[in-house]
Amino acid sequence: MVVTDGEGRVLWCSPTEPGSCADITHARQLGLVGLLAGGPAVEILADAGYQGLGAQTGGRVVTPQHRKFKKNAPDWYEEMYERQRKAHSSRRIRVEHGIAHLKNWRALARHLGRREHMSDTVQAIAGLLSHQRTADLTSAQQM
């Protein structure tokens, strides 16, 4: 799980979990639900893997609209659903760009090491990325 700010800068990366784990389950295990429910009023733009957290966090987690019709949806519903999905995606694009910056590092793009070390690799790359962005901002301000 990766948390970015509104500009797509990586703020936090969770430790990796062994095996397969649903996004929402991982968020609950990390205590994210409790933090958001009792914390400051922030808005988290999440993907569909976190549907249901909005109700548990007082609306702080915003996910794409749940699809009500699986088959034979009326045309009006398909149009409305597509508009809502695109609006959410447009708001969330910077989050996706922040995650993509992490994945662009070769150590993550082609991870060939042991899974036990993946968490350390992600944390190290997040730190390097943060340092790189800070250095870029500092040099831009000096010009």
Report the number of distinct structural domains present in the chain: 1
Q: At what angle do helices 118-142 and 75-103 cross, to 10 degrees?
A: 90
* C-beta separation of 34 from 55 below 8 A: no
Task: State the pLDDT at residue 114.
Answer: 65
Q: What is the pLDDT of residues 46-85, one digit of tens each?
A: 999 999 898 888 889 999 988 888 788 888 998 999 999 9
Q: Is the dihedral of CA 85, 20, 123, 107 positive or negative?
A: negative
Q: What is the pLDDT of residues 88-126, one digit of tens each?
A: 999 999 989 988 888 777 766 666 666 677 777 788 888
- Of all residues in the chain, what percent are helix, strand and coil, respectively (each to 5)? 55, 10, 35
Q: The domain containing residue 97 runs over which residues?
A: 2-142
Task: State the pLDDT at residue 111.
Answer: 63
> What are the φ/ψ torsions at residue 3 (nearest 5 degrees)?
-115, 130
